Amino acid sequence: MLPFVAEKRGVSMAGKTKLHEVVEKIQSGTIKEAEASRFFSIAPNPQQPFDFNIGINADSVDTTNAPNAGMLAAPLLRDAGIALDLGRATPVAAPKAFKRKLPLIAEGDSWFKLPDAGPVTPLALIGFLQKTYSTVNLAHWGDTLAEMIAAGQFWSFLLSGKSDVLLFSGGGNDILGGGMLWRYVNLFDVDHAKPSDAPYYLNKEFYDNLDAVMANYEGLIQRIKQRTPHVIMLGHGYDYVIPRPDGPWLGGPLTRQGIDPRDKGELGAAIIKAMLDVFNSRLSALEKAYPDNFKHVDLRGTITKTQWWDELHPLEAGAKKTAAKFAAAIAALPESTVANVSPFVAQLNALQPPAQARQHV
């Protein structure tokens, strides 16, 4: 990710917010959505799907005497997003059909959390779900599956027993090649020019990478089953994203392989559809293998062609529909029937001397 300061020459410092004031607003948790929109700028990161380059908007922020302001942009916007999400996660009465614990815990990529730079950036899935279910959103745009698992921010919530539902959005960045989708797609062949020929274009490297992604995914479910058997994880495999001419994540890499969306749009879309179908099929298999700890939320066919914001993310109308599918899946979860304390935590508690005894040690 390349930090930058979006600057226009000749703009007066009058009316701008000083950078240290922006920092104070974020640290105090008083920043507003409209302010985040003014203070920061975003642009697609062509090197990594589901990611964005974040900058300080020099039209609104006075960065005088702060030559490295651009380096602060991404972490500042992330912290601003956390502050805004805390406001969105205010307790709401759970629907009567819901029989598990709140808050829900969400971990994932930009399908769960886009940069808080609206109105340019649309509200993502979790933003809509938070209106129905109290949800702690740990997601961050651009995170890969491995990064989410390594960070493990969700474990403290799950191990505490206070939350027993994990919403998960991961793997998209990985299966789409981390900005190099072309590596997974064979060169255009005139003998395989129909959309029905899409499976021909998925090469061995695609399937090898998918196997590695699914091994990580399954490993996470296995750890949940072992460490927090009371937890149910809900994951999805995205919807049918549509390549655009010169698009940084899909259209550009496909064009490199001779599949330009301008004249081979149906074939390109069919190739991406084939990739996502395989991914969703693997997720469905995981639900069958781990029915007590994993549920596959199938979002395919939810978003219409006119409801896409860019190549990978829906407009709010589409995101709202995906949130509704998650809400339905959450409402259908079985009732929590145990104390929801991790066996690891229970064993640690058992090793501790009684509180009264500790006072005399």
DSSP 178-209: GG-GGGGBPPP-GGG-SGGGGGGGB-HHHHHH
| Whole-prediction pTM | 0.81
**Up-side HSE of residue 173: CA atoms within 13 Å toward CB?**
24
Q: Which residues pair with 44 in a beta bridge?
A: 52
Residue 264 pLDDT class (50, 70, 90 cuts): very high
Domains of the chain: 4-74 (no CATH), 89-340 (3.40.50.1110)
Backbone angles phi, psi at 249, to 5 degrees: -105, -35
User: Which has the minimum average pLDDT: 7-16, 195-204, 211-220, 279-288?
Assistant: 7-16
Task: Tell me what pLDDT residue 53 has.
Answer: 84
Structure tokens at 314: 């829906």
Put the strands of the sheet holding 232-236 in their side by side order: 135-137, 104-108, 165-169, 232-236, 294-297
- 299 CB contacts (<8 Å, ≥6 apart)? 236, 237, 238, 239, 322, 325
Task: Tell me what pLDDT residue 15 has.
Answer: 82
Is the per-residue pLDDT at 351 higher than 70?
no
CB 18 within 8 A of CB 62: yes
Task: Tell me what pLDDT residue 346 has.
Answer: 55
More confident residue, 200 or 178: 200
CB 324 within 8 A of CB 126: no
pLDDT tens for residues 197-248? Answer: 999 999 999 999 999 999 999 999 999 999 999 999 999 999 999 999 989 9
Q: Which residues pair with 40 in a beta bridge?
A: 56
- Surface-to-core class of residue 65, CB atoms within 10 Å of its CB (0-12 exposed, 13-18 middle, 19+ buried): exposed
Task: Tell me what pLDDT residue 339 has.
Answer: 59
Task: Tell me what pLDDT residue 359 has.
Answer: 44
Is the per-residue pLDDT at 12 higher than 60?
no
Is the per-residue pLDDT at 93 higher than 60?
yes
Task: Tell me what pLDDT residue 222 has.
Answer: 98
Pairing between β-strand 52-57 and β-strand 40-44 as defined by DSSP bridges: antiparallel
